Amino acid sequence: MNCSRTRGKKGEEHFDWFDPPRRRANKRRGRGTYANDRPPVLGVIGRESGQVRLRVVGNTKSLTLCGFVERYTQPDALVYTDEYTSYDALKRVRVTVCHGQKEWARDDDGDGWFEAHTNSTEGMWTGLRNFLRPFRGVHKRYLHGYVAIHEFRVNLKAISPAFIAALVRRHSF
């Protein structure tokens, strides 16, 4: 059954420059900050271990990003990032892919295996977005809790009775 109230309205052009069409959601361009109600979530994922660390932060400046990466990676780790300049001060060996040049993965040694990529991290963001979608918007004050639950879910792979017991023990009064 089709709704008659919206029939024909989708294709109408909007000619009035002084009355722009309504922008849905928070589609402000650029990087988000806690102050502009788009708190960034930083994340690292171990290629061998599969362990994930996610944190809600106030901004994506170099001090914040590099501190997070250095805290949650081993000193001898090889870090794969995009070309974002905030990573330049990172004290780790860093391999980059340039999304601006439509590069998503790169085979550095020619063996057919694309070593340089950020696909694991991109998939992690898709998983977090899908986890948050049923809540239809989470207030930034509580976002860290939702992100923590998603991190536990990814790292544990399954909810076990031991995990439930630990949660009850930790949060009981």
pLDDT in tens, 76-126: 988 888 888 888 889 988 888 888 888 888 887 888 887 888 788 888 889
The per-residue pLDDT for 147 is 93
Give the model's pLDDT for residue 128.
93
pLDDT of residue 105: 82
Alpha carbon distance 25, 95 (integer Å): 34
pLDDT < 50 stretches in the chain: none
SS3 at position 44: strand
How high is the pLDDT of residue 99? 81
From residue 59, how far is each of 40, 56, 101, 103, 128 by CA, in Å? 6, 9, 25, 26, 19
Q: What is the pLDDT of residue 72?
A: 92
Measured CA to CA, the distance from residue 81 to residue 121 in angstroms comes to 9
Residue entry with tokens 């509580």? 142
Closest CA to 43 of 14, 68, 75: 68
pLDDT at 172: 58
Could you tell me the fold of the domain covering 41-171?
Nucleotidyltransferase; domain 5 (3.30.420)
Contact 159, 168 (CB under 8 A): no
In order of 97, 108, 123, the CA distances from 101 in angstroms are: 9, 16, 20
C-alpha 117/C-alpha 153 separation (Å) is 24
> Whole-angstrom Cα distance, residue 52 to residue 31?
22
